[in-house]
Amino acid sequence: MEKHLDIKEVQEYACLALGNLAGKNDANKEKIRKAGGIEAILAAMEKHPGSEDVQKYACYVLGNLSANGKQVVGDREETWGHVQLACRQFQDMIQKAHNEVMKKIKVRLQQSWRKQRVQVNSWWDTPIRIVMEAMGTSMHREGQWIPDGCCYFASIKRIVLIEFARTSEYDGVEQTSLECLKKKFQEKEEKYAPLRAEITALLPDHEVEQATFIAGVKGSIMEREWHENFRRLRVDDTEWEGIKTAAIKQLLAVQHTLWTARRVRESM
């Protein structure tokens, strides 16, 4: 599972297999725990949060691992229900954490713009669809090219798409934290390249850029890229350090919350 963490199907079938092995077999449960099975299952859930099958089979094996083999079926189903609820709650926490960090960056950006008297129109979350429609784009209708934010600097004719993403600093292979962050950064840049191209074609006299903020689950960031992003967003260098510090503090607070939740979930 560690070697092929990126392959969704491998994680899906591995979780299913482990779940079957753990069912009503205390010896297998102990072997799975000692071999690091729980850590591998949680890593799969974190790596593929959007895969319903990975999440489902991961919950299945966690349910079997947490159930006492001597209990009756009714009790095991109750335990299974608790695990399902915990998994859903954990995924909700990750999404809320993502939103909190983005909110912190957004607030600090707006404070910087007011201080520097920068004229800018900014849109976040749901209203972005309306903005994309007004620009005349078509890709946003497919639901896959909706960035987290969009800023328009009319005085210099600059449009900046904003995307924020979190990623694990470990992806199952021998890579450094920076390499993992760069990989996610490249994915986000490539994902929105068609949308940037479409906006450029519709508004050829405008500069269309993207500010991609990638953060590791342990609070690490790509400092140089973040600095360039804030320059694109017309944030003065004197403001940059303060915004970076506020964002990192929020990331660490989020990590503490998720770490605490995970410890609770593992003890189920």
Mean pLDDT of 113-121: 90
One-letter amino acid of 254? V
- Distance CA(64)–CA(28), nearest Å, equals 11
77 band by pLDDT with thresholds 50, 70 and 90: very low
- Distance CA(198)–CA(194), nearest Å, equals 6
Would you say residue 82 has pLDDT above 50? no
Winning range, highest mean pLDDT, from 23-32, 48-57, 139-148: 23-32
Q: Beta strand pairing status for 149-153 and 158-167?
A: antiparallel
* DSSP one-letter string for 48-80: -TT-HHHHHHHHHHHHHHHS-TTS-HHHHHHHH
Instruction: Return mean pLDDT, the chain.
Output: 78
Token digits of residue 34:
């000692």
Would you say residue 83 has pLDDT above 60? no
- pLDDT at position 74 is 38
One-letter amino acid of 28? N
CB atoms within 10 A of CB 108: 20
Could you state, in order of their start, the residue ranges of all structural domains in the chain? 8-70, 92-259
Residues 119-142 pLDDT 10s: 998 887 657 777 777 777 876 666
Residues 204-257 pLDDT 10s: 999 999 999 988 766 678 888 999 999 999 998 888 888 888 777 777 776 665
- pLDDT at position 23 is 79
Mean pLDDT of 188-213: 93
Q: What is the dihedral sign for C-alpha 129, 131, 134, 139?
A: negative
What percent of the chain lies above the pLDDT cut of 90? 22
The residue with greater pLDDT, 190 or 38, is 190
Residues 146-176 pLDDT 10s: 888 899 999 999 999 999 887 765 554 555 6
201 band by pLDDT with thresholds 50, 70 and 90: very high
Is the CB of residue 180 less than 8 Å from the CB of residue 171? yes
- pLDDT at position 179 is 83
Token digits of residue 248:
């990192």
